[in-house]
Amino acid sequence: MDLAVILSQINNFRVHSEIKDYNISDFFDAVMEKIDKLKKLNHSEKEQLLDTLFAFLNNHNPELEEDFSFIHLIESIDKPNYTIYSKKLLENNIKRPSLTSVLLLNRYINSLHGKAWGKAVVVVRKVVENIKKTTFMTEDTLNYCEYQIK
């Protein structure tokens, strides 16, 4: 299986009201297994995969429950330096934060120190401003953001 097939599968996967949480986890666990079989991804392939995974978040309800199979998958793509992932994560949270993307942002910020932490907190402030302008985000999401600001 090549990356194009995996990307297509992710693009075509839709979460709907009848789907069970374990079906979502099973799907992303299977995706991770397929990616692991590809061995090492180059920079461009990592970008494509991360773009597709963030598009998945953006194509669903922002209050879609966090799925840790998805979270572990997206966090694993750009190990160990996370340069592609961190840039896309910050951009995604500025443009269209969701429960999952804010949780990812919180997890990412917890690993930062110094100037990198400060830059990420600026993004968190923008996220909080955007969230307060809408009603779709839960109190938990605001708490993640406010925790990082303090």
The whole-angstrom separation of Cα 127 and Cα 19 is: 29
**Residue 69: per-residue pLDDT:** 95
Is pLDDT larger for residue 134 or for residue 13? 13
Residue 45 has phi, psi (to 5 degrees) of -65, -40
Q: Given a cut of 60, is residue 135 above it in pLDDT?
A: no
**Residue 3: per-residue pLDDT:** 94
- The residue type of 71 is I
